[in-house]
Structure 1
Amino acid sequence: MKQRIITAVVAGAIFLSLLVLDNGIYFQILVGLLVIIAMQELFKMAKLHLLSFEGILATLAALSLAMPFGQSWLGLNIDRGFGLFTIFVFAMLTGMVFSKGKYSFEDAGFPFLSAFYVGIGFQNLLAAREAGIAIVFLALLIVWSTDTGAYFIGKSFGKNKLIPSVSPNKTVEGSLGGIACAVVVAIIMYFLYSKELPQIGYLRLILFTVIFSVVGQIGDLVESSIKRHFGVKDSGKLLPGHGGILDRFDSLIFVFPVMHILGLF
């Protein structure tokens, strides 16, 4: 617990300081580093090398999708980052032609999906920060309160397993408790910072918070499924007591894109 607290304080201070104080290049550099580390964790779990043909292209594809390269490319009305992402994916597929059967369409699937999974999540983190710091904190507080509520309520009242084949410790009671805690925290934040947040009203706020809380839990379960498939406990060891970057951002990788889809930024 001591190690977890120290790691949370140090890592949290770095992330939150750049999140709050900088909406420019320094926070973007931090996010770029997180993308690279997350890709490293995925490739390591799969026992693949990041400094390989598909590893380098997949990481470049993830960075292309995540970082704000801007609109308009080569005089065309196309997102520059998405254009680069497409080129790197096509390059991965082209590798099949010259591999003499050693690199297949199936082999290209993991790098592509990894690049999209990581890239789209962090892309929407940056987009949310650009829209306003309050949106980012709304997402953070929903995820954190969901995790905290699910842990304590599940530990105290949990009897029915949620999806034991994926995460044996999670319970239905904990999941519902996490959603309830997220709704309470979101309402308090909306009351205190109504001018900074989108004017969606309390009813839509409650509905959206339930959706975000559920989506965040799905994101956590998805990463648990990935780890279970590859037979690892944590995605990495960068954060002592907490695991890796994916262990900390798995819920947010799902929440931010859904917030964008629902028009909050």
Structure 2
Amino acid sequence: MKQRVITAVIALILFIPIIVIGGVALQILAAVLGGIGVYELFKMRGWDIKKIDGILAILGTVLLILPRSTWYDYLPEPVNSMSLYYFVVMLLLILPVFLQGKYSFEGVAFPVLVSLYVGMGFQNFVLAREVGLHVLMYALLVVWSTDIGAYMIGRKIGKRKLAPHISPNKTMEGSLGGILCALVVGFVYPIFWPLPYNMFAMLILTILFSIVGQLGDLVESSYKRFYGVKDSGNILPGHGGILDRFDSLLFVFPFMHLMGLF
């Protein structure tokens, strides 16, 4: 526990100033975190990130994360991150032509899905900050309060397992406790920092974001269970890897965008 607290404090000291500054600093941070996330998924599967499919997966992820307004202004107007990303997908689809017997259509699916999963999550992380720090902080606080509430309440009164085949320690009581803690954020936060919708709508959306965040957590847990690993990585002592810390956010930010918060 002491190691977890020390790591969390150091990470926040480094992380908070960058999200406050925003701009290119945050975009580069998101791209680096995205690249590490791809590496962790490849490592979980036992694939070498230094091979062509790993390099292309990282390239595709970074192209999705970095916004056109900053990085692609010198390119013709029709060119954007998604068109460049699909060019990377085309290169991946070509691989079985030259690596027949060693690489298949199913093999292409893994780096494509990995880059979409990680890239779109961090892309919307960057987009949320571009709209305003208050939007980004709302998402972070909803996810963090959900995690803290689920852990504390689940530890105290949790009895019924939420998904024992994936994450044995999670309970239904903890999940509901996480939603209640997120609702506190959803009620208090808009009073000081207005969000796009009225209070009732924001409370409903907060419930949805809390649920989606917990699903994102379970999704990453299911991958770890499938590949037989405890953590996605070890870059954060006591916490695991980047995906272990951002799994909920990789689901919440795209869903927030879909719901029109940015």
Q: TM-score range by the shorter chain?
A: over 0.9
TM-score by length of 1: 0.95
Say if 2:225 is the partner of 1:238.
Answer: no
Report SS of the residue matched to 2:155.
helix
Q: Which runs of 5+ in 2 are unaligned?
A: none
TM-score by length of 2: 0.96
Q: Deviations over 1:192-225 (max 9, x none)?
A: 222xx32x11100110000000000000000000
Out of 221, 224, 227, which is 2:218 matched to? 221
Match of 1:44 in 2: 43
The 1-side partners of 2:85 and 2:122 are apart by 14
Match of 1:263 in 2: 260
Say if 2:11 is the partner of 1:11.
Answer: yes
Match of 1:206 in 2: 203
- Alignment RMSD, CA only? 1.3
The 1-side partners of 2:141 and 2:186 are apart by 7
Using the TM superposition, give the Cα deviation of residue 73 of structure 1 relative to its aligned residue in structure 2, in angstroms. 8.8
Structure 1 contact 62–115 (Cα < 8 Å) conserved:
yes
Match of 2:81 in 1: 81
Match of 1:59 in 2: 58
Change in Cα spacing, 1:177 to 1:110, as seen in structure 2 (3 Å) is: same
Using the TM superposition, give the Cα deviation of residue 77 of structure 1 relative to its aligned residue in structure 2, in angstroms. 3.5
Structure 1 contact 146–182 (Cα < 8 Å) conserved:
yes
What is the aligned residue count? 260
Using the TM superposition, give the Cα deviation of residue 253 of structure 1 relative to its aligned residue in structure 2, in angstroms. 0.4
The aligned amino acid for 2:88 is F
Match of 2:153 in 1: 153
The 1-side partners of 2:259 and 2:51 are apart by 37
The 2-side partners of 1:251 and 1:129 are apart by 17
The 2-side partners of 1:204 and 1:58 are apart by 38
Using the TM superposition, give the Cα deviation of residue 69 of structure 1 relative to its aligned residue in structure 2, in angstroms. 2.4
Match of 2:107 in 1: 107
Superposition misfits of 4+ residues, deviation over 2 angstroms = 69-78
The 2-side partners of 1:75 and 1:14 are apart by 36
The aligned amino acid for 2:164 is P
Change in Cα spacing, 1:72 to 1:14, as seen in structure 2 (3 Å) is: closer
Report SS of the residue matched to 2:168.
strand
Match of 2:187 in 1: 187
Using the TM superposition, give the Cα deviation of residue 74 of structure 1 relative to its aligned residue in structure 2, in angstroms. 6.0
Using the TM superposition, give the Cα deviation of residue 72 of structure 1 relative to its aligned residue in structure 2, in angstroms. 8.1
Structure 1 contact 220–250 (Cα < 8 Å) conserved:
yes
Aligned-residue sequence identity (percent) comes to 52
The 2-side partners of 1:234 and 1:75 are apart by 42
The 1-side partners of 2:76 and 2:42 are apart by 35
Q: Deviations over 1:14-37 (max 9, x none)?
A: 1111001x2221111111110111
The aligned amino acid for 2:50 is L
Using the TM superposition, give the Cα deviation of residue 171 of structure 1 relative to its aligned residue in structure 2, in angstroms. 0.7
The 1-side partners of 2:140 and 2:17 are apart by 14
Match of 2:32 in 1: 33
The 2-side partners of 1:65 and 1:29 are apart by 12
Match of 2:140 in 1: 140
Q: Which runs of 5+ in 1 are unaligned?
A: none
Using the TM superposition, give the Cα deviation of residue 13 of structure 1 relative to its aligned residue in structure 2, in angstroms. 1.2
Using the TM superposition, give the Cα deviation of residue 100 of structure 1 relative to its aligned residue in structure 2, in angstroms. 2.5
**Greater CA drift, 239-248 or 154-163:** 154-163
The 2-side partners of 1:223 and 1:58 are apart by 18
Structure 1 contact 141–186 (Cα < 8 Å) conserved:
no
The 2-side partners of 1:74 and 1:13 are apart by 36
Using the TM superposition, give the Cα deviation of residue 85 of structure 1 relative to its aligned residue in structure 2, in angstroms. 0.7
